[in-house]
Amino acid sequence: AECDPADPEACLQLAATLRAEGIALFDRGHVGGAKGRFETAADARIHAAQAAKEEGNSCFRRADGSGATAHYERALAALGCGPRPGHLKRVPPQPYDYHYDCGVADAEGDPATVEFARILRLRTPVKLITALHSNAAASCLLEQRFDTARAAATSALRIDPNHTKSRSRRAAAFQALGQHSAACEDLALALAASMGTPAAAELASQLIQQWRLRAP
């Protein structure tokens, strides 16, 4: 079974059907059949996430920050990056609900759902997850939701510490929050990773500005 990548809702519906079939097969001991269903379901989820990312990018280009954030978060939810059901009731509120590892929301504690979460995590491109967190940081900056932008950029950097866009976006969030020393640290790391590129001059200028603003 395949889904049309241009129809993310159909991809999610197919993924739900295949995941349920895989769980039933897994519970009956048909592990090989379950794995095939889980892999196809994971691929359908990834197609849906990629489509939502493109919709988010379109909103961002129109300066629609809230619309872009909604699409990026929908993509992250498709990849299981949200909390487990009921988990939010047991932890303090967080500025960003999608900082969990890929598949966490799908692992309900039983072996079948844990296996699906593992397959989803393995099949999801790392660059896709990183870009979704980083793009969410950018759209939250556009919305002036600076604490959420900081948390989203931190989620991207936890996956790829060398992601320069996420460094500069977190620096912008730190700057807006008045945390100029932290902004300097991120800008310095972003500059070090960007030497010899067109972005280096702008990063150097931002670093000098933040250095002047930081507390003596």
CB 177 within 8 A of CB 153: no
Q: Is the dihedral of CA 116, 117, 118, 119 positive or negative?
A: positive
**25-39, 48-62, 91-105, 151-165 — which is least confidently predicted?**
91-105
CB atoms within 10 A of CB 63: 10
Q: What confidence tier does 200 reach under pLDDT thresholds 50, 70, 90?
A: confident
Mean pLDDT taken over the chain = 90
What pLDDT score does 42 carry?
A: 97
Q: What confidence tier does 193 reach under pLDDT thresholds 50, 70, 90?
A: confident
User: What's the CA gap between 49 and 171, in Å, rounded?
Assistant: 27
pLDDT digits (tens, 9 = 90+) for 33-56: 999 999 999 999 999 999 999 999
Q: Give CA separation, 14 vs 21, 25, 180, in Å.
A: 11, 16, 47
Q: Which two tokens stand for residue 65?
A: 């920050």
Q: What confidence tier does 87 reach under pLDDT thresholds 50, 70, 90?
A: low
Q: What confidence tier does 191 reach under pLDDT thresholds 50, 70, 90?
A: confident
Q: What confidence tier does 85 reach under pLDDT thresholds 50, 70, 90?
A: low
Q: What share of the chain has pLDDT > 70, as a percent?
A: 94
User: Is residue 90 scored above 90 in pLDDT?
Assistant: no
The residue with greater pLDDT, 44 or 3, is 44
Q: Which amino acid is at 130?
A: T
Total-model pTM? 0.90
pLDDT digits (tens, 9 = 90+) for 107-160: 888 999 999 999 999 999 999 999 999 999 999 999 999 999 999 999 999 999
Whose tokens are 């961002």? That residue is 60
What pLDDT score does 5 carry?
A: 73
